[in-house]
Structures are given as C-alpha cells and as structure tokens.
C-alpha cells in the first residue's frame, strides 16, 4: 500500500501535533476499526477514518483512497471516546 499526503499539511501536523504522516505506515491496520468520515463534500473524494495502534498508542487517521494506496488527510492521537470504541472492538463478546 502506498501512502501519500500534502507536504505542507504534513509539516503543519508535525508542528501542531508532533506527528509526521509517515507514521501511518506503522499502523496496525489488521487491528484497526474504521468507517466513513463525518465531513463529506460532494466535490471531494470520499473520506474514511481508521482508529488503531501505532506503537503503543492509539491514533485516528483520516484518509482518502488513491490508486493502490491512501492519501492521508489527518493524523492525531485518538480521543478518549475513540480509544474506548477501539478497545471495545478488541474485547470478545
């Protein structure tokens, strides 16, 4: 899977959150949960989100599909609510 992103947006994310978009390559996609993003614009590609681990922490990534990969729109640490959703998905019922 290829990962692309806007370099200026990546630099802003590094400045504001200390997270380069390259870290998305380390996400545990097999253990992630996801779906359609909340902000959909009919003139832009469909956005998706995934919540999953990168290293020991849980992150939220927003992305679009692009060719054989993804284009990162946003990367941040998951909120408390998002971490709880992710943890609930890991717990057998």
With b for 16 or more beta-carbon neighbours within 10 A and e for fewer, the 36-53 pattern comes to: eeeeeeeeeeebbbbbbb
Domain count, the chain: 1
CATH code at position 78: 3.10.450.530
User: Of all residues in the chain, what percent carry a pLDDT higher than 90?
Assistant: 84
Q: Which two tokens stand for residue 60?
A: 């939220």
Domain housing 23: 2-90
Angle at 81 (CA atoms; ends 80, 87), nearest 5 degrees: 90
**Quick one: pLDDT at residue 93?**
58
CB atoms within 10 A of CB 22: 13
Average pLDDT over every residue of 50-77: 96
User: Of all residues in the chain, what percent carry a pLDDT higher than 70?
Assistant: 98
* Contacts (Cβ under 8 Å, ≥6 apart) of 45: 64, 65, 66, 71
Whole-prediction pTM: 0.90
Residue 3 pLDDT more than 70? Answer: yes
């Amino acid at each position: 899977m290829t990962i692309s992103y806007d370099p200026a947006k990546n630099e802003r994310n590094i400045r504001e959150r200390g997270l380069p978009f390259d870290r998305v390559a380390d996400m545990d996609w097999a253990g992630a949960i996801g779906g359609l993003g909340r902000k959909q614009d009919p003139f832009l590609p469909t956005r998706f989100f995934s919540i999953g681990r990168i290293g020991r922490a849980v992150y939220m990534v927003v992305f679009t599909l692009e060719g054989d990969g993804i284009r990162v729109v946003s990367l941040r640490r998951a909120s408390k609510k998002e971490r709880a959703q992710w943890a609930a998905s890991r717990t057998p019922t």
